[in-house]
Structure 1
């Protein structure tokens, strides 16, 4: 669906563009799905005065296929994730869980990706076995690829073995593992265990890290390893999360939403919950889901808007003051447009001409009460039915029903 745009340069004009160096107020050229260094004279121009352009967000931790599975009702914090996993076994028999897991896995994968896209996340690290659906050309988001992973030290019957997986991962690629996801002695001991196995290095990406001590955090920083912070999931399951400030200041912290099975609705929801709780300014907080995430996950062409970067963008209204505040704390319906590979995927209805110039057919939808245009390949009714707050517009739904077909 992106063929026309590949040969049609685009210039995003009059917006403020957020970069690692600050805010620039120059046109942002896009050619062939990447940020260009030169503004083409015949580019299609999109007037974005009074707007801000951010890099597409990077979700450093999600389990894409379980975002529609009902969470486990919890009346008290669990001591660690293994206890939560054990408690969940009985929950598998709940009729709502059974029904959710009967949805084809490929569709559930697409739903997890669409959930991310709607909130301005254009790239996701999926922490589970690869699935063919992830390689589809019209998959809603980009994915971390060519990485190593194990699930957790204490759960050996799922995922690749820890030591073998780490050894097989090239040193220039990230290696992911859930670690110290708890508040008890089991979680407290896991970083030392990982270190003893020889699996703590500069490419080790530790998910959660709640049980790590001050000394453990120092050890992570000294090794140039990193942690992915999922505060809502931690608070929901464990009643506690890590103090992010030291890792954030060292550039060794990224942000993940986890899945809705335990965590936030999406990365925007996670950002909104953090900004007033943890004494992090909006700009460094946003870096956890852009520049720092890209560095930790070894994705040099993402997380920024310099020439050569993949043109994944989030466009919002400029609310004035600190530019990052225009992104941190907003609702997903307030995003004006989400752009992947230089092509709008969901946007407000006044962006219809840009969709048309890009050769993208659209379907009118309503997102949390606000009319939007959604790229047609993402408007499968079975997919939309999985996402609360997203539905075909009344007119489109009536036309589809009358014709006996859907987009």
Structure 2
């Protein structure tokens, strides 16, 4: 089948609604970078029969600038994140770590963003001080903006102070903090401390939460707060993670990848691991990285394929069976295309006409051994050199005609 073609007939695909009902067949018009509400008479059509279209993933917790820093050698689990931070201090002296941190921060931030994009994540919550590089028009992913944050209760020397940062954050914007990242009494006491400071509210987004007890989860749900779950990082540093089921059922849980310094390679690997361990089902995991994350982070135009939403898309082959499993069970090189604002950013080579129709120069690359096309602004050799498994291939796909684009699917 010619998967991508400019055609006058109706193109076919399945747009996946993140609901218990799963996939549905419906037209998906794209106009001015957003999902449209109707089909235009004249449109450039993409034939996507035998495919599934998902909303771009939302990574609810990331440290973009440290994904190329070598991790601490694994040992006995730490009782809490503060013990891990203390152990990491000696790690800074290692040549590979020092060399990684000497790279320009702007480059490291772009690398973290590219890592996310390659795995279908189009929006990220970066939990660190803002940097001018994040405002670049061609930054690889969209970012959570206009939010408040503190780093952690037990590490006051980094980031804004807890009480003043919370007080300065509008009630309709999220306020992020690492909390209860441990298994000991120190971690278990942190929700009480946060509440005593007056910082537990409906816009509080608590990252990790491994030390939360059942009564603590009751309080989180009752307050309307939420938790961002980073299970791979938790297992690596602490030896275990939280039980996600009650928070998930209450709609108060989102998924994050943390960073490669302690966590999974990317959010797609994180999702696959959760399903493989049987902690949640495929549709539940998909929800944590789309509609739930968008709701918790107050991102109304993200995480869905509703009219008016950003046209951030992940396209995969329809393998039959459970629709959500077609995304949560695969690796990044299996993605057919990742789209931001209606424009492909990385895709299989047979999507070349889509790049050309939008006036985007596409550079041939290989991703984990598979041929792909990458939008030229992302193909900086210094950037590609930081990402294992991503290499530029010989030759280039030149700029082609401009055309209006509307992806139709049934």
* TM-score in terms of structure 2 length: 0.93
SS of the aligned residue for 1:44 comes to: coil
Residue 340 of structure 1 pairs with residue 340 of structure 2: yes
Question: 1: CA distance between counterparts of 2:10 and 2:263?
Answer: 35
Partner of 2:400: none
Question: CA offsets per residue over residues 220-274 of structure 1, 9 Å max, x none?
Answer: 0000100000000000000010000000000000000001000000001001110
For residues 15-42 of structure 1, what are the alpha-carbon distances to aligned partners after superposition, in whole Å with 9 as ceiling and x for unaligned?
1001135422122100000000010111
Cα deviation digits, residues 190-233 of structure 1 (max 9, x gap):
00000000000000000000001000001000001000000000
Measured at CA, do residues 162 and 11 of structure 1 come closer, stay the same or move farther in structure 2, by a change above 3 Å? farther
How much has 1:394 moved relative to structure 2? 3.9
Match of 2:353 in 1: 353
CA distance in 2, matches of 1:75, 1:66: 21
Q: Which residue of 1 aligns with 2:75?
A: 75
Task: Say whether the 8 Å CA contact 1:13–1:26 is kept in structure 2.
Answer: no
Q: Is the 8 A contact 1:16 1:26 kept in 2?
A: yes
Aligned match of 1:4: none
SS at match of 1:228: strand
Residue in 2 that maps onto 1:283: 283
Contact 2:244–2:279 (CA<8 Å) still a contact in 1? Answer: no
Cα separation, 2, equivalents of 1:13 and 1:59: 31
User: 2:200, 2:225 within 8 Å by CA — same for their partners in 1?
Assistant: yes
Deviations 1:354-407 (CA, angstroms, capped at 9, x unpaired) = 0000010010000000000000000000000000000001456xxxxxxxxxxx
Task: Tell me how far apart the structure 2 counterparts of residues 13 and 387 of structure 1 sit (CA, whole Å).
Answer: 35
Q: SS at the partner of 1:28?
A: coil
Residue aligning to 2:36 = 36
Work out whether residues 12 and 48 of structure 1, in 8 Å CA contact, stay in contact via their aligned partners in 2: no
**How far is 1:278 from its partner?**
3.5
- Relative distance call for 1:57 and 1:100 in structure 2 (3 A) is same
CA contact (8 A) 2:188 2:212 kept: yes
2:89 partner SS: helix
- Equivalent-residue separation in structure 1 for 2:293 and 2:245 (angstroms): 15
Give the aligned partner of residue 210 of structure 2.
Answer: 210
Which structure would you say has the larger RCO, counting Cα contacts within 8 Å and 6 or more residues apart?
Answer: 2
Are 1:15 and 2:13 matched, yes or no?
Answer: yes
Q: Report the CA distance between 1:13 and its aligned residue.
A: 3.2
Counterparts of 1:306-385 in structure 2 under 5 Å?
Answer: 306-385=306-385
Matched, 1:183 2:194: no
Root mean square deviation of aligned Cα: 1.4
CA distance in structure 2 between the aligned counterparts of 1:69 and 1:279, rounded to whole angstroms: 29
Residue equivalent to 1:399: none
Q: Which residue of 2 aligns with 1:142?
A: 142
- Where does structure 1 lack aligned partners over 5 or more consecutive residues? 1-9, 397-407
How far, CA to CA, are the matches of 1:305 and 1:395 in structure 2?
35
Q: Find out whether 1:198 has 2:185 as its counterpart.
A: no
| Partner Cα separation in structure 2 for residue 148 and residue 13 of structure 1 | 43
How far does residue 277 in structure 1 lie from its aligned partner after superposition? 1.4
Structure 1 residues 218 and 66: alpha-carbon distance in aligned structure 2, compared to 1, 3 A threshold: same
Give the conservation status (yes or no) of the 8 Å contact 1:55–1:304. yes
Aligned residue for 1:38, secondary structure, equals: coil
Q: Which deviates further from its counterpart, 269-278 or 204-213?
A: 269-278
- 1:328 Cα deviation after fit: 0.5
Q: How does 1:159-178 map to 2 (within 5 A)?
A: 159-178=159-178
1:400 maps to which residue? none
TM-superposition CA deviations, 1:267-302 (whole Å, max 9, x none)? 010011100313411111100000000000000110
Q: 2:16 and 2:51 mapped to 1: Cα distance?
A: 11
Match of 2:405 in 1: none
Q: Structure 2 CA distance, aligned partners of 1:309 and 1:116?
A: 20
SS of equivalent residue, structure 2 residue 73: coil
| Aligned partner of residue 155 in structure 1, secondary structure | coil
Q: Give the Cα separation in 2 of the matches to 1:269 and 1:281.
A: 15
Secondary structure of residue in 1 paired with 2:45: strand
Count of aligned positions: 388
Once residues 307 and 223 of structure 1 are traced to their aligned partners in structure 2, the CA distance between those partners, rounded to angstroms, is: 31
Secondary structure, aligned partner of 1:85: helix
- Alpha-carbon spacing, 1:212–1:11, altered in 2? closer, same or farther (3 Å): farther
